Structure 1
Amino acid sequence: MEQLIKSLTELEKLKTVERGLNVGNRKESSAEHSWSCMLIADVVLDYMEEPLDRLKVFEYLLYHDVVEVYAGDAKFNNPEEMKLKQEKEEKAIQKITSFLPNAGRFEKILHEYENRETRESEFAKAVDCIDSCIRNLNDSNASKEDGFTEDLIRQKYHPHVSKFQFTLELFENLMRQLIALEKV
């Protein structure tokens, strides 16, 4: 019971991890981002041209940023943060697996997601990218001055969203809107 309570209280801290994007007058939390990704995935899965296991997609998205409880969020427009990302995340995984009762399952899910070992993990990563585009559309304060240029976003996201025809089309439509609103 003690291990379970420690696990739950530690994982709940994902709500306090700030990301680079805004929600109203505050920063979005990594927990909000994970929830948003799951919601987007649930809707977009109905448009996919191939059958994907919804539960697997949800597992990937539920856990994909849990390491940020200890590693923080690395913004891809910040080269210094990106240099340290892998090392910080590996240490975070070690810490989480030291107390998580289902550590083996957690490691398997995270490993499959990070290495894109399944079509579901590829889809989950595409959704992760799409979520940031949607968040920028909804952020009235987002602008080109934030350092997220069209080229940088395309370089980072295109390899993932292009794995599926529908996510690529959705991404391109979102990018057109971001460009028209001068947010990138």
Structure 2
Amino acid sequence: MKIEQLIKSLTELEKLKTVERGLNVGNRKESSAEHSWSCLLIADVVLDFVNEPLDKLKVFEYLLYHDVVEVYAGDAKFNNPEEMKLKQEKEEKALEKISSFLPNSNRFQKIMAEYEHRKTRESEFAKAIDCIDSCVRNLNDEKASNKDGFTESLIRRKYEPHVSKFPITEELFETLMKRLVELEKV
């Protein structure tokens, strides 16, 4: 392996810290890197409450890489139909670009394919955690309101298919949604 290829990979992937998401952290937008870290933390805590054996390392790999394509594709907000129309195409191009310089591109592509197609229970759990994280962030976002376009029905339509696959994530989601509605954040 060439050291220059490794440096290129590390400097490009580090750019995930600069990708803004739709939710706020204090007086600024959350970055995709912060979202990935938060997903890892939530997964680590919640895994103890899953009633089936899951490979923690696989869950962590999915969550670590699940939004890396946003380095080039950006974050698509699911309350914006125009962004969502372009999401798949932009992410596929970003995946190709990242794969072109990563020294471990075969492993990266395999992780991304398993996650995107929910080929494993671990990838299903990781997706459920991805959904839970956004609800937690929204709960903590003092600026969030039901005027942001993220309605309860939109969030349910987007997240329920994923969170419902595990009793703990389903219960967490329902409790979080109840609180978000009470606080008029959705």
Normalising to structure 1: TM-score of the pair?
1.00
Q: What residue is the counterpart of 2:13 in the other structure?
A: 11
- Residues in 2 aligned to 1:60 and 1:124: alpha-carbon distance in whole angstroms: 6
TM superposition outliers: structure 1 runs of 4+ over 2 Å: none
Q: Does 1:165 align with 2:161?
A: no
Q: What is aligned with 1:113?
A: 115
Q: Distance in 2 between matches of 1:90 and 1:29?
A: 21
Question: Which residue matches 2:149?
Answer: 147
The answer for the alignment partner of 2:89 in structure 1 is 87
Report the Cα distance in structure 2 between the residues aligned to 1:91 and 1:159, rounded to whole angstroms.
26
Aligned to 1:56: 58
Q: After TM superposition, give the deviation of residue 150 of structure 1 in Å.
A: 0.1
User: Which residues of structure 2 form unaligned runs of 5+?
Assistant: none
Does residue 131 (structure 1) correspond to residue 119 (structure 2)? The answer is no
Q: How many residues align?
A: 184
Question: Counterpart amino acid of 2:84?
Answer: M
The percent of aligned pairs where both chains have the same amino acid is 82
In the other structure, the counterpart of 2:75 is 73
The 3-state SS of whatever aligns with 1:169 is helix
Q: CA deviation at 1:51?
A: 1.1
RMSD over equivalenced CA pairs, Å:
0.3
Q: 1:178 — aligned with what?
A: 180
1: CA distance between counterparts of 2:20 and 2:63?
Answer: 17
Q: Distance in 2 between matches of 1:61 and 1:18?
A: 17
TM-score when normalising by structure 2:
0.99
**Unaligned 5+ runs, structure 1:** none
